[in-house]
């Protein structure tokens, strides 16, 4: 096969995004494929499809098909069909809502059930979304990594809102599927530049913290 014919070969990769409702699956898909964010929440019905074409390592063209599976689908009869044939299943939860991680246990069971009919089981990835809301985080890092370890999953922490880690997470999953080792430069290219927002307050709007009175003597407490 000539170089020109080799370049025309397009590898097909199916990646399924699953998880409970309102954790940001659609926003992740849109951020990765369109570099936009889903500003208004609208519950997905069934499954939505997204496409991303990229060049990865020695692979000339990779066609990444993203299946955005609605959270409500877990209770339906189509879940196995949505997941069948997936090369990777990315399980998404919201770091600010603790029970969204717990609910992924049911999705793990569904993924394993769907993968039994496949010659090669899909790669499972744990994706912690909304990392930009660190101040309201409920799921600690230790719990995240323990869950991933218990179920044999690779794991990522991302923010669909800022784009932090999103492209890199998808890139690493696809690279693992194709047996491609990403270089440091390739990984750095996937990291977005996050613009800081400067907030200016008027002097009168900032509450003043009273300074406690101090005594001229101090007390030292010793613990024996």
This prediction has a pTM of 0.78
What pLDDT, on a 0 to 100 scale, did the predictor assign at position 75?
74
What structural domains and CATH numbers belong to the chain?
A: 11-189 (3.40.50.300)
What pLDDT, on a 0 to 100 scale, did the predictor assign at position 59?
64
Model confidence over 79-103: pLDDT tens digits? 889 999 999 999 999 999 999 999 9
Kindly write down the DSSP assignment for every residue of 4-48, as one continuous string: HHHHH-EEEEEEEEE-STTSSHHHHHHHHHHS----S-----SEE
What pLDDT, on a 0 to 100 scale, did the predictor assign at position 200?
47
Model confidence over 155-178: pLDDT tens digits? 999 999 999 999 999 999 999 999
What pLDDT, on a 0 to 100 scale, did the predictor assign at position 184?
75
The number of helices, as runs of H, and strands, as runs of E, in the chain is 8, 6
Ranges under pLDDT 70 in the chain = 1-9, 38-44, 58-60, 186-224
The H-assigned helical ranges of the chain are 3-8, 25-34, 79-83, 99-102, 104-115, 141-150, 166-178, 184-189
What pLDDT, on a 0 to 100 scale, did the predictor assign at position 118?
87
Q: State how far the Cα of 74 lies from the Cα of 92, in Å rounded to an integer.
A: 14
- Strand pairing report for 123-129 and 154-157: parallel
Contact between 15 and 173 (Cβ < 8 Å) = yes
């Amino acid at each position: 096969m000539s170089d020109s014919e080799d370049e025309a070969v397009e590898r097909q990769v199916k990646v399924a995004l699953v998880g409970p409702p309102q954790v940001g699956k659609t926003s992740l898909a849109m951020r990765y494929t369109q570099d936009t964010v889903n500003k208004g929440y609208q519950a997905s019905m069934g499954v939505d499809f997204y496409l991303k074409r990229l060049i990865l390592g020695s692979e000339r063209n990779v066609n990444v098909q993203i299946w955005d599976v609605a959270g409500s689908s877990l209770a339906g009869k189509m879940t196995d069909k949505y997941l069948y044939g997936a090369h990777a299943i990315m399980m998404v939860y919201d770091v600010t809502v603790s029970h969204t991680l717990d609910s992924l246990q049911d999705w793990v069971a569904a993924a394993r059930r769907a993968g039994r009919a496949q010659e090669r089981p899909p790669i499972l990835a744990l994706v912690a979304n909304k990392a930009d809301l660190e101040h309201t985080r409920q799921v600690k890092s230790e719990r995240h990594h323990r869950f991933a370890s218990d179920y044999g999953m690779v794991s990522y922490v991302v923010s669909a809102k800022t784009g932090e880690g999103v492209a890199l997470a998808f890139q690493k999953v696809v690279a693992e599927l194709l047996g491609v080792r990403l270089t440091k430069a390739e990984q750095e290219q996937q990291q977005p530049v996050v613009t800081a927002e400067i907030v200016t307050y008027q002097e009168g709007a900032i509450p003043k913290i009273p300074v406690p009175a101090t005594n001229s003597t101090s007390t030292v407490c010793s613990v024996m």
